[in-house]
Amino acid sequence: MFENSETLKPPKGHFYLAGRLFPRVKWWKSPKMRVLYFYIFVLIITNTANGFDNSMMNGLQTLSYWQDYFDHPKGPTLGLFNCVMSVGALAGLVILPYMLDRLGRRICLVFGSFFMLLGVALQSGSINFSMFVGARFILGFGDIIVICTAPLLITEIAPAQDRAILVTIAGATYHSGAFIAAWTTYGTLKIQSEWSWRTPSLIQGVFTLIMLAVVWWIPESPRYYVSKEQPEKAMKILAYYHADGNENDEVVQLEFTEITTAIAMEKNAEHSGSYMDFLRTPGNRKRLLIIITFGLFAQWSGNGLVSYYLNLIMDSIGIKDANRQLLINGALTSFNLATNLFFSFFVDKWGRRPIMLVSSAGMMVAFVVWTALSAKYDADASSALGSGVLGMIFIYYLFYNLKSGLIASYTTEILPYSMRAKGYTIMEFAMYIALFFNQYVNPIALENIHWRYYIFYCCFLFVEVIVIWFFYPETRYLPLEEITKIFDGDDIATAANLEMEKIEEYGKGMTRAVHIEDASA
């Protein structure tokens, strides 16, 4: 066994799978792998649609035609415009894990996409407040199904050598949508009609249409096929996309054995696939603490203020010109996109725990300075102080972007197969509870107590640093059995490994059965 993640650092040009060293495959030289990476790219841009919506709502609040059409919403009304999407997402989360396990990943993507397109159509054609709010509820319902399903499918079809980076990029591409939306609303500012706000809403559906056009060719999760007792389909997918059709490839054989072994263990377990599993052992309770707090940290770190209400912050520091506000929004989303994608490629090199600690501590310091400058501006307004606040927002997001892409990758890698769908759903549920609070309470608090509201986020960020320091373990380079040891201890990990060795023969037997069935055919 390896003692820590540093000893597991693979030599250049190699990667670990189940504790064994393999040479990396240059995916651009493999025809089938190139196709797979295209499919993964399509799955990645599902988060682009989500990011587009958040930034778009920021931009719409700056457009005079949107403000006039909906009678200049403020406080609770403005909060309802934004938070109802989170209510729709929470409704979608109730049914999502059961759909994922029973219907598979691809059907969930199709199901969610249809609801997203319906929401986009109704939102773009809204004629009153009620229709706009109803459209955003439907949009949220479909969006959560898609953005939860896509990273799970990426995790389960991506080659092991690039899995962590690809899933992290999937989380980071939220900002690609925000980037596109920010500059779209800046461009439509010049349209002198209702189409200045209807056009961005229509464009939001483009990313969903791309995914819906391609999803029919994207392979289903091999794990899903094994769970449905169709191992031959799982083997064909792994061999076709990971080894150009070679079922005897050593990596493919090991991947297939790992999947079948894990599924066999789940079926043999006394308690499997239940939410109660998260409370039954100390290790699982620790996993539950991490995924819930990670979901809260994703939205209660202060980013919700800027994501939906940047215009209110700009107003509070004397920047009230719509053109300038949209330019700042565009510059910020461009900065976020560049830094997020850059940091995604260092998730293995720097490690999960150092990234999260530096990120949260940096955000805390930036937010404290941001709050102090805002307080001084409130007492003695000056353009220099306003510029200082604006600069601190960019510094804050530099640190936030360090870890934002880790949400999907860290959550999926600390959860065992049987708990992954439900665990990811719990994390998203916590995230959207926090998001609902942000979207509804933030405009009310900003309107009534102004900069003093920032103190809440300064305190929360301090708590965030403490929780990460004491409870978040490092997982980079670690094989499954080492992650099990971190959460469940040596005795349980050893017992699990012995059980895996017994059931591994079952996986090998399934491999032989698949080859015999192919030969017979």
**pLDDT tens, 249-263?**
999 998 898 788 767
Determine contact, residues 155/167, Cβ cutoff 8 Å.
yes
> Of 46-50, 145-149, 190-194, 347-351, which has the strongest mean pLDDT?
145-149
Element housing 16 (H / E): strand 14-17
**Closest to 93 in 3D by CA, of 48, 150, 142, 151:** 142
Residue 246: what are its φ and ψ, rounded to 5°?
A: -85, 100
Q: What pLDDT does 114 receive? A: 94
Element housing 158 (H / E): none
Residue 16 pairs with which residues in a beta bridge? 21
Q: What pLDDT does 368 receive? A: 93
CA 134 to centroid of chain Cα atoms: 25
pLDDT per position as a tens digit, 366-409? 999 988 998 888 887 777 888 898 899 999 999 998 888 788 78
Confidence band for 265, pLDDT divided at 50, 70 and 90: low
Residues 8, 30: Cα–Cα separation, whole Å: 27
What DSSP character marks residue 451? G
Element housing 22 (H / E): strand 20-23
**pLDDT averaged over the chain?**
83
Q: Taking the CA of residue 299 as centre, how many other CA atoms within 13 Å lie in the half-sphere pointing to its CB?
A: 23
Residues 19, 1: Cα–Cα separation, whole Å: 8
N-term to C-term CA, the chain: 42
Q: What pLDDT does 134 receive? A: 92
Q: Is residue 511 scored above 60 in pLDDT?
A: no
Q: What pLDDT does 417 receive? A: 66
Q: Is residue 498 scored above 70 in pLDDT?
A: no
Residue with more model confidence, 47 or 335? 335
Residue with more model confidence, 448 or 471? 471
Torsion of CA 14, 34, 219, 250, to 10 degrees: -30
Residues 98, 111: Cα–Cα separation, whole Å: 13
- Please report, for the chain, the start and end positions of each structural domain, with discontinuous segments joined by +: 20-220+269-477, 221-268+492-521
Lowest mean pLDDT across 129-133, 186-190, 263-267, 458-462: 263-267
Confidence band for 509, pLDDT divided at 50, 70 and 90: low
pLDDT per position as a tens digit, 404-428? 878 878 887 888 767 877 888 899 8
Residue with more model confidence, 243 or 476? 243
Residues 488, 49: Cα–Cα separation, whole Å: 38
Task: Collapse the DSSP code of 405 into the 3-class scheme (helix H, G, I; strand E, B; otherwise coil) and give the result.
Answer: coil
What DSSP character marks residue 138? H
Alpha-carbon Rg for the chain, nearest whole angstrom, is 24
pLDDT per position as a tens digit, 431-443? 888 888 877 787 7
Q: What is 20-220+269-477's CATH number?
A: 1.20.1250.20
Residue 502, both tokens: 């017994």
Q: Is residue 129 scored above 50 in pLDDT?
A: yes
Determine contact, residues 380/238, Cβ cutoff 8 Å.
no
Residues 266, 272: Cα–Cα separation, whole Å: 6
CA 468 to centroid of chain Cα atoms: 19
What average pLDDT does this structure show over 284-293? 94
Q: Is the pTM of this model over 0.95?
A: no
Who's near 323: CB < 8 A, 6+ residues apart? 186, 189
Residues 403, 355: Cα–Cα separation, whole Å: 6
Determine contact, residues 510/260, Cβ cutoff 8 Å.
yes
Q: Is residue 1 scored above 50 in pLDDT?
A: no
| pLDDT over 90 percentage in the chain | 26
Who's near 477: CB < 8 A, 6+ residues apart? 5, 8, 9, 10, 16, 348
Residue with more model confidence, 485 or 411? 411
